Chains A and B, each alone.
Chain A
């Protein structure tokens, strides 16, 4: 089976899930007693025509299943309506989506860059003091509530002045050169990345350690050793490659966890990401925005899983579409 067929099949599999997600989220929100236009009506800067247009667009005078079809059609066309403040939802989401992806990839990068070596070292020093320390630190890392850790880091940032507090860019961002802009964003990304990396690091390094231990125990590694291959070669060429495969599957889950986990961290650091957007939307009962960001969030999650599967297919030819 060629890789393209695999990708096609995997995408077709995900479509019904996305449809179901949209149905679940639509009815959850529509069945709540909140009037979807209530907040818009309260905003004096929004004209009667806009309101009427929204009413038409959402089909509010029609039965609820017609409303769903209406909403879904518009959504596919990219028309997600307007938010409470009168802006277009789609443009708002675009901007936030990029920021969240930036944060997520930065976290994924660091988690893998740090987590894999840690896990390998622990597995190679099985039951030694390093190994015990890893278990201890990963337990601690997993137990810190993300928002609490974020608060502690904010205190740190405030006391030392080494890191900016909140946001993604400094106020003088627009007058900077490209290099300065880049460094400025990195500077702002540091603390949120640190929080999320600490939390997801534990799971990844533990999993890496467990996989490598399993592989080191297997017959082909014993055979490779028996043939007198150098230990380094056995580990790097034979063991590691197979130990990393299951982690690729985890990548999809990790991404899902990041989307969720990032919401609280984004909130504390005032980071302009999707998580904080949906939170603000929920607090303002901005229905259009809530629906759209929920769908985009789920879409990204499904996409993340597909990408992880494709990556796995590339690294491990035994994989088939389940």
Chain B
């Protein structure tokens, strides 16, 4: 098996170089962990999407103890929070209910869900004894478990960029291909249109498009439309570069040979010309996923993207707009760090891919 893998790697020197790069491997592992977490979000989540504990809004993260009062190592346990009103400071305070320990249990039964959408299951990675509450990253204003919502939010924040790419890149490729290959007046018109789209500051366009979405859509519809909007912003710049490449590719002899042998234009563009742009496309894809992730989070942060009660990392950060929250409830900032980590990992991987596929580029390395 290992031999087979080695043989495969020897046939693909680029892949081998990628796997040798320590930074990009670390980044890849981080991404795999993140994506595994959101793929099995139901399994890792402690509470379901609709859970909310109104009595504990803004309660801090539960402390998990491994060592008991006598200094002995025990099974991990936690205490519940009790909400108290402090008459002197006029603040609501949370205190631990030290009267009862609640032990953590792994692979415990909890709420029921469909495992990978295939079969019913109710086992969860971690849970607590009956009556116990476990909030690994605290609660938000509505008493919803931050940890579970981060998992569900990641499902949106980390996939929307990919989906938008699947729309914008084929469009950009075809658009650039047709424009470059046909040339002349068609090229002129198509490029002026693309340039017009590029001349609108992209974030302005983004918020306007998001704002004219009719209200009262289901969350699935909204998700789909936000994806389309993100794609609509991204295709023009890409199409322009592809067109430039096509201009030079179409003068090559093999393309002329294809023309002489009677291939249709569509076939020449799709089968003969566009595949030549593949290394650029791979680099561009790798480097543009982060910008889509950032765009979605920015949009949701402003309240124009994914709407409550659905979670996305951007709209969870919306709470960080309040001063009291960022100063006294720093756990609400976790999604921001996760966006940072995901984007950083994508950037590092993208840099390595570019260095490998485009050795002339000296942007890094």
A residues neighboring B (CB under 8 Å) = 16-18, 20-21, 24-25, 28-29, 32-34, 135, 139-140, 142-148, 151-152, 154-155, 158-159, 206-207, 209-210, 213-214, 256, 259-261, 263-264, 267-268, 275, 278-279, 282-283, 285, 290, 293-294, 297-298, 301-302
Contacts and interface: CB of A to CB of B under 8 A. Distances in A.
A283 B302 CA distance: 10
A139 B348 contact: yes
A152 B207 CA distance: 23
B351 interface: yes
Contacts of A206: 363-364
Contact of B209 (A28, A144, A264, A268): A28
Interface string B194-214: 011111111111011101101
A17 B203 contact: no
B336 A294 contact: no
A252 to B, nearest CB: 11
B200 A148 contact: no
B294 interface: yes
Most buried by B among A142, A147, A278, A298: A147
B38 interface: no
Contacts of B290: 142-143
Interface string B323-346: 100110000010010011001100
Given A24-B200, A210-B363, A293-B204, A154 B326 contact: yes
A145 B203 contact: no
B193 interface: yes
B199 A143 contact: no
Contacts, number: 139
Contacts of A144: 340
Given A17-B195, A20-B192, A24-B200, A158 B327 contact: yes
Given A20-B193, A139-B347, A158-B323, A294 B204 contact: yes
A233 B197 CA distance: 44
B364 A28 contact: no
B contact patch SS: helix
B317 interface: yes
18 contacts: A17-B196, A24-B197, A24-B200, A28-B212, A29-B208, A143-B344, A146-B298, A147-B297, A147-B298, A147-B317, A148-B317, A148-B340, A151-B333, A154-B323, A210-B361, A260-B203, A282-B211, A297-B201
A17 B192 contact: yes
Interface in B102-120: none
What band does the interface of chain B fall in when counting residues whose beta carbon is under 8 Å from A? 35 or more
B261 interface: no
B196 A147 contact: no
Contacts of B131: none
Contacts of B347: 139, 142-143
A256 B333 CA distance: 29
Contacts of A33: 212, 214
A12 to B, nearest CB: 13
Contact of A151 (B193, B203, B304, B326): B326
B365 A135 contact: yes
A36 to B, nearest CB: 12
Interface string B161-203: 0000000000000000000000000000000110111111111
A25 B204 CA distance: 11
A155 B298 CA distance: 19
B345 to A, nearest CB: 8
B362 interface: yes
B344 A301 contact: no
Nearest to A255: B201
A309 B3 CA distance: 56
Nearest to B207: A282
Contacts of A34: 212
Interface string B308-325: 000000000100110100
A278 B206 CA distance: 11
Contact of B201 (A16, A142, A260): A260
Given A17-B195, A143-B343, 8 more contacts: A21-B200, A29-B212, A139-B344, A142-B343, A143-B344, A263-B207, A282-B304, A294-B205
B208 to A, nearest CB: 6
B301 A209 contact: no
A275 B207 CA distance: 10
Given A145-B297, A282-B211, A294-B208, A263 B340 contact: no
Nearest to B344: A143
B343 A145 contact: yes
A256 B362 CA distance: 24
Most buried by A among B205, B207, B302: B207
Nearest to B27: A139
B132 to A, nearest CB: 33
A207 B363 contact: yes
